[in-house]
Amino acid sequence: MYEEITITSMDPRGNGLAIHDGATIIVQGALVGDVVSCHIVHKSPHRPLYWARVTKYHHKSPDHQKPSCHWAAPTAGKCGGCPLMHMRADAQYQVKLTAINEAFQREKINQFHELKITHAKTNLYYRNRSDFIIGKNKKNRTILGSYIPRTHDLTPMQGCRVLRNPLARISRSIEALINLQNCPLYNPKNKTGLRYLSLFANQKGYVLVDLICGSMSISTVTHPSLNLNIQTPAHPPSHWLEQLVESLLQLKEIKGISVSKNDSNGNVIHTQKPSLFYGQHYLLEKIGHAEVACTPSSFTQLNSELCAIIYERARTWVGKRHTVWDLYCGAGAFGKNILPQQIYGVDYAATSIELARSSPKICKHTNYEIGNLSTDVTEEKIPALSCTTSWPKPDLILVNPPRCGLSNAVIQTLRNTPCDVLYMSCDPNTFAKNTASLRKTHELVRAEAFDMLPNTTHVELLGLFCHTKNNNTLW
């Protein structure tokens, strides 16, 4: 037990931090300025680092607010999906800007003293996709939920307030059907039963459902008529699965139902391509100027409304462009919103390329390829991306990498190509490191932050880089 310690900073997960007697104490639910008593729940065996829960507030920061969702951890419920929901919006923005400024300072990026953060009109009901873990609660009722932070115990998510309508309502209906029909849950020994559920909803309120099951719950054959080359079941061999699918078809919002196999030992939700049972494999989502094909299992930006603002800002920064390379292109939304004459895109995920090719065209020419963007060699002479050697020279390159940032091969490609770069990033630390790696050939001339996922610690960055050897840059 610690008495009256003062919270002086926040960690990357939204917990309060205090230094006491040379030890770092991570306090769930505490904010900067709080003076608290806390109880230690875990000690690191390697260093003076403790995790604690608040037992009493002696002084409470004015940045506290009552969470709008009663499931939200750590101050209301136990769901860790929105770890900043107990913090006022303006304080959330400051936490995110602080994280960016600290990352920039580490890499000596000093040209942005007052970085701007843009936020959406609402911090609720924005999320277009969600994954649920299917398990039992203490009353032996099947629930759709998430793991309590730092545990494998399940907490409910029913009525989640950041989900776009009608996802909360559809998830409640599916949970009720699973209980009513007594559907079996995943058994790793015989590889049968329900394990996870993924949902996607577009702006029109249409929903796609992906039921993730053990492999023995379904047998599959390849359906030759589908241009996406996904697997389609010959028939659902499990009577419970067939009955569940038939019941889901009664929900008018549902436009497609697929089933995915997952027998993995870890917590990865999507390990194989889906098998289409009914209806549409993808739905079109309008993001800015482009309509993009989306599924429950593919990568899409979770906040379409805020994402459209980012794309519009990007287009405003660079103006008209003729040829764009879109690296880490996903389903193609970023590149299409620049409105160029031609787009050459590459992504390592085959499903993303299939969706990019299936999305409606918005420019004269598009070429999307599957490529190895993660090549990460450490030799002094790093090879550039092989796919780009056959592409025409660009006047703009887009990059939107995963959290780990740009691979060495992509960095070398950017260095060797004298044109501007637009970098959209979900991690300030890797953005800053990549900025430092590009310093010899590119100058970061514009940057802006965006509150892509309100009530979380996540922040999106958009940066415009000018190639220093290019005298014809248009920025």
In a domain, 104, yes or no: no
Which residues contact residue 54 at a Cβ distance below 8 angstroms, ignoring those fewer than 6 apart?
Answer: 27, 28, 29, 30, 34, 36, 37, 38
143 and 257 fall within a common domain: yes
Q: Facing residues of 443 across strands?
A: 466
Total of domains in the chain: 3
- Structure tokens of 127? 């999320």
In a domain, 261, yes or no: yes
In a domain, 25, yes or no: yes
54 and 180 fall within a common domain: no
430 and 380 fall within a common domain: yes
CA separation for the pair 283, 128 (Å, rounded): 12
270 and 373 fall within a common domain: no
In a domain, 177, yes or no: yes
CA separation for the pair 229, 223 (Å, rounded): 7
The whole model's pTM is what?
A: 0.91
47 and 142 fall within a common domain: no
In a domain, 376, yes or no: yes
At 142, which CATH number?
2.40.50.1070
Identify whether 233 is preceded by a cis peptide bond (ω within 30 of 0): no
Q: Facing residues of 54 across strands?
A: 38
**CA 444 to chain CA centroid, nearest Å:** 25
At 354, which CATH number?
3.40.50.150
In a domain, 109, yes or no: no
In a domain, 43, yes or no: yes
257 and 189 fall within a common domain: yes
275 and 347 fall within a common domain: no
Q: Which domain holds residue 23?
A: 2-64
Q: Could you list the pLDDT tens digit for every one of the 475 residues in the chain?
A: 778 899 999 998 899 999 998 999 999 999 999 999 999 999 999 999 999 999 999 999 999 999 999 999 888 888 999 999 999 999 999 999 999 999 999 999 998 878 999 998 889 999 999 999 999 998 999 999 999 887 888 999 988 999 998 999 999 999 999 999 999 999 999 999 999 999 999 999 999 999 999 998 875 433 333 333 444 554 445 789 989 999 999 999 999 999 999 999 988 999 998 989 899 999 999 999 999 999 999 988 999 999 999 999 999 999 999 999 999 999 999 999 999 999 999 999 999 999 999 999 888 899 999 988 875 544 444 566 888 889 999 999 999 999 999 999 999 999 999 999 999 999 999 999 999 999 999 999 999 999 999 999 999 999 999 998 764 444 4
Phi, psi of 56 (to 5 degrees): -160, 135
